[in-house]
Structure 1
Amino acid sequence: MSEVKQYCWHDVIDSDTRDIYQSYERVTFIGMKPAVLLIDLYNLVYEGGSLPVKDVVKKYPSSCGIHAWNAIEPTKQLISLARSHQIPLIYSTQGTNRIQATNRQRNVVHDNSYEIHEAFQLAPTDIIIQKERASCFFGTPLIAYLTRMDIDSLIICGESTSGCVRATAVDAYSYGFHPVIVEECTFDRSIISHKVSLFDLHHKYADVMSLGEVKGHLDLRLSAF
């Protein structure tokens, strides 16, 4: 299947490497009880506007620049799609303790830096969890929420692909939830990190899908009722 569908990583993963992973081909799917998990779509990653990352990080080290802004519209479409199917939406953001794994340069943090960006209109039914580490599962009530709602799949988007998205997808798989990562709604500071991470996740822990594929799966799921 990966040779038929042109995934975003085809221009950075050579054909020999893709051939090695042919045995990982399978039918991708979304379970009957999915939730959408939107990872770290807070103001900090959009600071500086839609400039190239190499320019915006000079002043805003935590910004994902143009990559974050390019993902806004497809993410809004995913949110609208989820609401139309009555699929729960769960947002993550940085916790107040701000535990840091490294001493890399970071933005000046303001009171609203970790608020969900205004492009994404929250509904009263949406859930927001605060986390201190990369994974949305670590030290948070996420599993309790998912268990209470009988969730079997997580449709994942947000940032960064090589960091919090990856850590969360691996933990979702480890805890028995089926992870689906939406290609256009996920982003990173580095295009190479983004594409290689999606390639690796798709062939080990998650189903990477386009937004159109997600819509198709959800429409098929709806027709099954």
Structure 2
Amino acid sequence: MNKKTALLIVDMLFDFAHPDGKVFYPQNQEILPRIREVIDHCREKNILIIFAKHYHRKYLFDKELGSGRRINCLEGSGGEDIMPELGYQEETDYIVKKRRYNSFLGTDLDLILREHDIRNLLICGTKTNCCIRATVEGAYHLDYNPIVVKECVATNDEVVNKVHLADIEKYLGSVITMKELYEKLDGGELDD
């Protein structure tokens, strides 16, 4: 296994990425095949794959579901299921259930990364201005090297998407294209 790099797929779940989902954005359907391509390339390089799942308990209080927010990803609803197109593999992939935007907050993501000696965290998924941004900030503050794959993140507004990618690139980590990612992986640049 590549000792220094992991791939994190954030919230590519039924409620976000399927047309019948509770908080669906068409942009998420567009990035699904690109994310699968990145997953497949990372699998070829023996890179650790982690899926972060927005997940809310069905009957118990959850602050994030208050204040008029749209209810989504409730346990047992099917809305919290990983999109099957992504090819989750139970034997090799991790799932991190999160109740906040930041995939690190209140989860064991940091522990999983430390146990595998990870330094570089490739990030794909939805929403660039919310869960992607919060997760990148979490990675940055824990001294990981967050690397967002540009064509593999989306939100419901392309201008908002570009603004947050620009901020991430300027202050928090790297934003690279799929082509650049493959060149780095094939050249062993993410091994150190």
Tell me, yes or no, if the aligned pair for 1:32 and 1:221 is still in contact at 8 Å: no
Tell me, yes or no, if the aligned pair for 2:3 and 2:191 is still in contact at 8 Å: no
**Cα distance change on mapping 1:107 and 1:224 into 2, 3 Å:** closer
* 1:138 match: 105
- Choose the corresponding residue for 1:122, options 62, 82, 88: 88
In 2, Cα distance between the equivalents of 1:104 and 1:116?
21
* 1:221 match: 188
Q: Does 1:41 align with 2:12?
A: yes
Within a 5 Å distance, the mapping from 1:5-154 to structure 2 comes to 33-48=4-19, 62-65=23-26, 67-97=27-57, 99=62, 100=64, 102-106=67-71, 111-123=77-89, 124-154=91-121
In 2, Cα distance between the equivalents of 1:33 and 1:224?
5
Instruction: Name the TM-score, length of structure 2 as normaliser.
Output: 0.88
Tell me, yes or no, if the aligned pair for 1:157 and 1:181 is still in contact at 8 Å: yes
- Which residue identity lines up with residue 172 of structure 1 in the other structure? A
Q: CA deviation at 1:224?
A: 7.9
Tell me, yes or no, if the aligned pair for 2:3 and 2:116 is still in contact at 8 Å: no
* 2:166 match: 199
Please give the root-mean-square deviation of Cα atoms over the aligned residues, in Å: 2.3
Tell me, yes or no, if the aligned pair for 2:140 and 2:146 is still in contact at 8 Å: yes
In 2, Cα distance between the equivalents of 1:173 and 1:136?
12
Query: Which runs of 5 or more residues in structure 2 are unaligned?
Result: none
Q: CA deviation at 1:136?
A: 0.5
Q: Secondary structure at the match of 2:16?
A: helix
In 1, Cα distance between the equivalents of 2:120 and 2:17?
28
Q: CA deviation at 1:147?
A: 0.5
Q: Secondary structure at the match of 2:187?
A: helix
In 1, Cα distance between the equivalents of 2:174 and 2:191?
21
Query: Which runs of 5 or more residues in structure 1 are unaligned?
Result: 1-30, 50-59
Higher CA-based Rg: 1
**Cα distance change on mapping 1:143 and 1:107 into 2, 3 Å:** closer
Q: CA deviation at 1:95?
A: 2.4
In 2, Cα distance between the equivalents of 1:214 and 1:222?
9
Q: Secondary structure at the match of 1:204?
A: helix
Q: CA deviation at 1:105?
A: 3.5
